[in-house]
Amino acid sequence: MERGNQTGISEFLLLGLSNRAEQQQLLFVLFLCLYLLGVLGGLLIVLAVSSDPQLHTPMYFFLANFSLADICFLSTTVPKMLVNIQTHDKSISYAGCLAQMYFFILFSSLDHFLLTGMAYDRYKAICCPLHYTTIMSPRLCALLVAGSWIFSSLHALTHTLLVVRLSFCTNREILHFFCEFYQILKLSCSSIVINEVMVFVFTGVFGVGPITGLLFSYVHIISTILRIPSAGGRWKAFSTCGSHLSVVSLFYSTTLGTYLCPTPTQTFNKGSIVSVLYTVVIPTMNPFIYSLRNKNMKMALRNAFNRKSVFSPGF
């Protein structure tokens, strides 16, 4: 069989969530609101952490980076989908599709590593409180975040370069609302054995490792909390990691639920709708999960806006 050539593919078609015209505008308004809400929530957290010296701690340092990653994660897929809905054009260029796939893998991996780093921070804060400030130094926090960026970039770049070497035939329809990695592999008319091998390698190295570290941290956190004699002390200790545990549960339950579901019995619309949870809904919810019950965060935001109102010129 004659193999196609990726240079002959100028664009792909993103089939999206629905083909019904009456649903297009509803989807546009819904995803626009979710996107703006998620970006606003993330920016407010970054503003609060950067403006309040009391929040210049490892926990909030990781939270600010996590919020920035979520903003970028949302911006990777949602704006293009909104443009396609509004213009009634489902196309995305070959280069644009590869770029979207790269940044999607990058920021999803970055979320993965940052959540593990935040779990390690809570583990040291609860299980080793006397040595916490010594262990979680600014240098270590910076190294953990920098390492997360490096490993995530390596992960995304490797998969992207391996997709570049693939050949594509006449089928250009991606059964999703963004250039999802596995959907692109399905369109290839050349061997994807190397791609699949690298998926298993990276899953083992960059997937199992951080998840093991996260589980290790929370096993020790829970065991330490249960040994606290007073109920008030247990609640206070648990409240410091309750928001993070909620985000971890939502992130991994939706991600694993999407990719571990048997695909033969699942239509692409159902798969795309489920993926909306971890690509759009969860990143939008994360800033509010972390800030709604956080008195320090609400106080920092209040002080930041009060300072802006004081220094703003009068009329």
pTM score of the predicted model: 0.87
What's the pLDDT at 263? 45
Residue ranges of domains in the chain: 6-309
Burial per residue of 103-119, b for 16 or more beta-carbon CB atoms within 10 angstroms, e otherwise:
bbbbbbbbbbbbbbbbb
* Mean pLDDT per 10-residue interval, the chain, length 315 residues: 51 81 84 94 90 88 93 94 89 93 94 92 89 91 95 94 88 86 89 90 81 88 85 77 79 67 48 76 86 74 69 47
The separation between the first and the last C-alpha atoms of the chain, rounded to the nearest angstrom, is 74
What is the CATH topology of the domain spanning 6-309?
A: Rhopdopsin 7-helix transmembrane proteins (1.20.1070)
What's the pLDDT at 105? 94
What's the pLDDT at 89? 86
| In the chain, beta strands by DSSP E | 11-14, 91-93, 173-174
Looking at residue 230, what DSSP letter applies? Answer: S
What's the pLDDT at 144? 94
Single-letter amino acid, residue 65: N
